[in-house]
Structure 1
Amino acid sequence: MRTLLLSALLSLIGCGLAAAQSVRLTNGEWPPYLGEHLPHHGVASRIVSEAFALQGIMVEWEFHPWARALLMAKKGQRAGSAVWLNNSEREAKFFVSDPVMESGYYIFHRKGYSFDWAQVADLQSQRIVGTRGYDYGKAFQQAEASGQLRVNRVTSDETAFRQLLAGRVDLFPVDKAVGFDVLYQHFSAAERAQLSFHHTPLRTDSMHLLLSRQVPGNAQLIKRFNLGLQQLRESGKIAQYLLEIQQPLSLSP
């Protein structure tokens, strides 16, 4: 009996240690950065997982619609969520990591279309398509809300590109890597050859891991993650992983 009790106790202790070395995070669909069925669940997920692994922590991913993914983490139902923009509202609810990666939004257009811009006000005469739920930056969002910009919001990046190719709109802002991923997944080489993008980014942002302030131990966990992230960056692997998703980006601005 004592042997059985000791074995059970050791088993429980072992389970507790194992649990302490794993973290459950929510995620969403944003190829090539994030995706349930992508290799490594996407490059951003890979960076997060490997940074934690350098600290001896295994990530357990759960994929949900974005709003639900963030809410579950905010309530402490999961340890956190990846990857997100930082703002004051999120800092109040989460421990925000050092930058995991950078996102750059560029304005795509048809080749041969005469187009230049330096500030959002320069876009007011253009027919613009945008994807629902996407934030294109404070100046753009304010200009859209005030009616200064004409923006047709559609349900997906693919639909936006199809409208652009059909000439129904003139411009489409999208993260460059995301845009090229959509083009290579859903469009022919002949269709891709009809498009280009402006060299001036509409917005550039750092993307972060968020760990809920509702979960005990997360204050220490974010420090361990940042340390692992620094180690991974210094190894050159982050730059390598991000370069790998840029290689197909052959359209010239």
Structure 2
Amino acid sequence: MRLLAIFTLLLALVPLQSWGHAWLKIKIATTEYAPYTSSEMEHNGYINHIISQAFLETGVVVEFVSMPWDEAVEATLNGEFDALSYGNFVRARGEKFWHSDPITAESLVFYVNSKSDIASWSSFDELKDKKMGVTEGYLYNNELAAYIENTPSVTTYATDKENLEALVSGEIDLFPIDDLTGWYLLQRDFTNEQRQAVMTIDPFISTVTTHLLVAKGRNDDRLLIELFNKGLEELTLEGKLTRFKRLLKDGFYQDPKKPVNFDRR
């Protein structure tokens, strides 16, 4: 706590431009979840670019190591990595991880098969007779998680792509995913005919915020969160978060082997 207090005071008093060189290097576990995070994309993806730049604002250099989600969570909790990139805000996760300030915010939506009779929804009770697909290991918000746990018609698939394939083929009727990821995967991995087979419905389920995750209980856990939040605040004040979002929409981060037209008009 004393170390945290000292560095928090320094960050408050010393202009960030005075950091002449990096004074700390950290390792962050990450996953392959394009376009947010991917070792095959520029700067390891959109979210990881923000994370590395936020830390750099406070003189911290980041090394990303990519691995499957479950392994990344376990390795971070075991102290093999300083942080995990990234996680949506889930209240239950707060028992083991600190959530940073929000990095981005996206809409969690239902994609449905275009031939289904689902044009909109207002409560989960309306969906009980529909076949829903979910992704293994994904933590949804409390209300949706409770519905999934208590509904026999829910089917679990290994990946978001497999859920979308099941949706296109009609094996399931609907699938919850954040709007940007769903759109990106459809553009990258599906034909135009397949894309026509699915659509989103209103209203969106919830707003999903993304966060850097730091395991609780390590000596410098709060320090890392404070450093990152300070850097993120600086990026916001400098207008760089808006710039990074524009780079995402312009296709800057994408895998050159699987280009996507990001113009969603």
Normalising by structure 1, we get a TM-score of 0.82
Q: Find the counterpart in structure 2 of residue 193 from structure 1.
A: 196
Deviation at 1:216, TM superposition (A): 3.1
Using the alignment, how far apart are the partners of 1:28 and 1:179 within structure 2?
17
2:134 to 130, 136, 150: 130
> TM-score, structure 2 length as denominator?
0.78
Aligned to 2:80: 77
Residue identity (%): 24
Q: Quick one: which of 131, 153, 158 aligns to 1:155?
A: 158
- Classify 1:244/1:170 alpha carbon distance in 2 versus 1 (closer, same or farther; 3 Å): farther
The equivalent residue for 2:259 is none
| 2:109 match: secondary structure | strand
Q: Tell me which of 62, 65, 73 is aligned to 1:62.
A: 65
For 2:175, which of 163, 172, 175 is the aligned residue? 172
Aligned equivalents of 2:94, 2:86: Cα separation in 1: 14
Corresponding letter in the other structure for 1:74: L
Between the two proteins, the alignment pairs up a number of residues equal to 234
1:9 paired residue number: none
Deviation of 1:210 (Å):
1.9
Query: Given that residues 136 and 202 in structure 1 are in contact (C-alpha distance below 8 angstroms), is that contact kept between their aligned partners in structure 2?
Result: no
How do 1:1-253 residues align onto structure 2 when only pairs under 5 Å count? 20-87=23-90, 90-111=93-114, 113-115=116-118, 116-147=120-151, 150-245=153-248, 248=262, 250=264
Indicate how the Cα distance of structure 1 residues 175 and 241 shifts in structure 2: closer, same or farther if over 3 A, else same: same
Distance 1:19 1:215 in 2: 22
Structure 1 Cα separation of the partners of residues 91 and 166 of structure 2: 35
TM-fit CA distance, 1:172: 1.6
Task: Name structure 2 gaps, 5 residues minimum.
Answer: 1-20, 251-261
* Cα distance in 2 for residues equivalent to 1:133 and 1:206: 18
8 Å CA contact retained: 2:132, 2:175: yes
Give the conservation status (yes or no) of the 8 Å contact 1:76–1:214. no
- Which has the higher mean CA deviation after the structures are superposed, 32-41 or 195-204? 195-204
How far 1:90 sits from its partner (Å)?
4.2
SS at match of 2:117: coil
What RMSD over aligned residues (CA atoms) do the two structures have, in Å? 2.5
**Which residues of structure 1 form unaligned runs of 5+?**
1-17
Distance, in Å, in 2 between the alignment partners of 1:199 and 1:89 is 27
Structure 1 position 26, deviation (Å): 0.8
